[in-house]
Structure 1
């Protein structure tokens, strides 16, 4: 299907992009990588009068090391994340999750920030960013910026803390150097959105789990932390039986959807199974 007609704006700076948002308001849609927006336009599920393309805003691109944090520009592509030695060393969980996104063509166009702001609960970036305790930097009108913890960033289905006249600019991730990581994703066919997925990163000491962070994909209207599992894992030996018992509560506090890919109970069962697999893999067991 052909999209409805729209005007196209391609600002070359963050200031110009924010000005375009202020000018066009609710009539505008922001184009990051296009992974989500382009299909929506083609199916005419949305018909904005203006599309603001951020592809030329170079200040929103790139990965930098700021001591105890990695800073990823919102317009950084999945492919750039996968190619980054800094990310694979200090935020391995994000690398492993991004490697499962779609195919190489999409990974060279899709952006980390675009996926986060779109906030599809079946997307594969939200759970690892949440599990890594990231902070999201948001720019508004007049040069104002604010920093929002990932735990407060995702508000509801396709809804985030980014306002209509604001843009996500950076993802700040505390370094998890030396932590094991794994992203366990369940799909029926290759390149599908996650039916359920689990992002797990673990710091082990002497054969026991000292710290654990676990994020859940598509187990509610937003990405979720499996806090009961995280607490139960601390101090446990990295054996299958110990991890199995800790991960039995993976679905606590979740509200998974029911659809053609499976009902809510099926997803709850999957969550416990995938969490066990992800934690064992992250712990090197």
Structure 2
């Protein structure tokens, strides 16, 4: 059963920030809300108990999709369905099209997925690969920061801040890419592993979801995959860099995930990297 909470829908960044500050002072445990799928699920399971939710979908900046000569700006409250249809960032469209099912994608938003608590959060992968900039709203105003400064497994925002937009530079939008998701069961089940890769400035970039309990840019694997050598040599060296606690759950054991990842890496190299 879902308990009650107060619902607010501000129409500007400042109104949202002021609301959060007021509700926080009143000990209402406010949360920002865009798609709301995770908030509702966690609330139903009694994992969170907000007294108020602040819906950001009426804030124009959060619903923006704009491309100029150098940058694509993506509003954090755009649904995955909308992003998938835009096709302005092919890798992102591909990743979005593989999340959950169509009904869920109508509700899940880019910002909601990235800022969520589930292990997978695949929408983060294209932004990690493209060194995206995040536009953040908060008490101190609006700030812009590179994703790697704030995303450490989770997006580390200050109290009262929320994600407004994501910005990607044009060269990344036009780079060759591949994204591979492997599931153990049906087409819309949780993934075992998702690997996204961009080929940029003659180097492979790699980001992974499902190996650890958070998505990440695989810097050390990238380094080994970009060294001279055969595919086998490069992949074996890359796998040796994995030293974190690999996920073990009903979708797959740690050994199975590593097996799946190894096979995906062969596909990535064949598609983007070739033999060296």
TM-score range for the pair, normalised by the shorter chain length: 0.7 to 0.9
Distance 1:235 1:178, change over 3 A: farther
Quote the Cα distance in structure 2 between the aligned partners of 1:59 and 1:24.
22
Shift of 1:97: 0.8
Structure 1 unaligned residues grouped into runs of 5+: 205-209
Which residue in the other structure is 1:207 paired with?
Answer: none
How far did residue 235 of structure 1 move? 7.3
The one-character-per-residue Cα deviations of 1:97-142 (angstroms, maximum 9, x if unpaired) are 1110111122222110111111533121122211121121211114
Aligned to 1:51: 53
Once the 2 structures are TM-superposed, how far is the Cα of residue 49 of structure 1 from its aligned partner? 0.8
Which residue is 2:177 aligned to? 181
- CA offset at residue 177 of structure 1? 4.4
Gap regions ≥5 residues in structure 2: none
State the aligned residue count. Answer: 268
- Of the structure 1 ranges 242-251 and 211-220, higher mean CA displacement relative to structure 2 is found in 242-251
Equivalent residue, structure 2, for 1:276: 266
The question of whether the paired residues in 2 share the 8 Å contact of 1:178 and 1:203 is answered with: no
Inter-partner Cα distance in structure 1 for 2:199 and 2:232: 15
Q: Deviations over 1:45-85 (max 9, x none)?
A: 21111111122223211221133221111111111211113
Indicate the SS of the match to 1:27.
Answer: coil
Change (3 A) 1:163 1:203: closer
Query: Following the alignment from structure 1 to structure 2, what is the Cα–Cα distance between the partners of residues 51 and 111?
Result: 16
- 2:110 pairs with 109, 112, 131, which one? 112
2:16 is the alignment partner of 1:17: yes
Q: Hey, what's the Cα distance between the residues in 1 that align with 2:134 and 2:239?
A: 26
Q: Take 1:179 and 1:276, find their aligned partners in 2: how far apart are those partners?
A: 20
TM-score norm. by structure 1 comes to 0.84
CA displacement 1:205-229 (0-9 Å, x = unmatched): xxxxx22111010222432222234
